[in-house]
Amino acid sequence: MSETAQTPSHLALYEHELCGFCQMVRRSTQDLGVEVESRNILREPGRREELIEGGGKGMVPCLRIEYPDGRVEWLYESS
């Protein structure tokens, strides 16, 4: 299977409730019926550091996409 056709094994959205773009992304995933773990960078200690370490930036929303082969992709709203 090619990398582009591989289905993600886990999705996590780094977000917070004061972010309008985050709310828009959350609504879209719910409308599509896509299961996405919420990782709130304001309420959960360490999530912001995780985001910066993994994705390189502390901005939200950011979708962390994990594939079955262990590969991880960080997708920011402006990407």
Looking at residue 40, which CATH number applies to its domain? 3.40.30.10
Quick one: DSSP state of residue 5? Answer: G
Query: Which positions ≥6 away from 67 have C-beta within 8 Å?
Result: 3, 6, 7, 8, 9, 73
Assigned domain for 44 exists: yes
Give the percent of the chain with pLDDT over 70: 91
pLDDT of residue 1 exceeding 50: no
Domain of 31, in residue numbers? 12-76
Q: Mean of the per-residue pLDDT values for the chain?
A: 92
Alpha-carbon distance 33 to 28, whole Å? 9
Note the pTM of the prediction, 2 decimals: 0.88
The number of folded domains in the chain is: 1
Q: For the segment 20-32, what is each residue's pLDDT rounded down to a tens digit?
A: 999 999 999 999 9
Question: How would you label 16-42 residue by residue, b for 16+ Cβ within 10 Å and e otherwise?
Answer: beebeebeebbeebeeeeeebebbebe
Cα end-to-end distance, the chain, whole Å? 25
